Amino acid sequence: MPEEDAVTVTAAESGDPFEVLRRIAEQRRELDRAEAVAVRRARVGGASWAFIATILGVTRQAVHKRYGRR
């Protein structure tokens, strides 16, 4: 289990819902940044919006709207 996941599980087990929420928000921000970088790299590498969308489980329009104008 990655360290970040272990921290969230530990916080959840501690019974402190505010700590759990803080960790979830932090992990969500980190994942959003990592996803943006991966999408950018995929596009630079020649991947289509449709292919990226399929991998992410969203529509081509959704992925283009989120990352297409950056």
Per-residue confidence (pLDDT) for residue 69, from 0 to 100:
79
Instruction: Please state the pTM of the whole predicted model.
Output: 0.74
Q: What is the pLDDT of residues 22-48, one digit of tens each?
A: 999 999 999 999 999 999 999 999 999
Range of the domain at 54: 3-67
Cα gap 28→22, rounded to integer Å: 10
- Give the chain's domain count: 1
**Interatomic CA distance for residues 30 and 45, integer angstroms:** 22
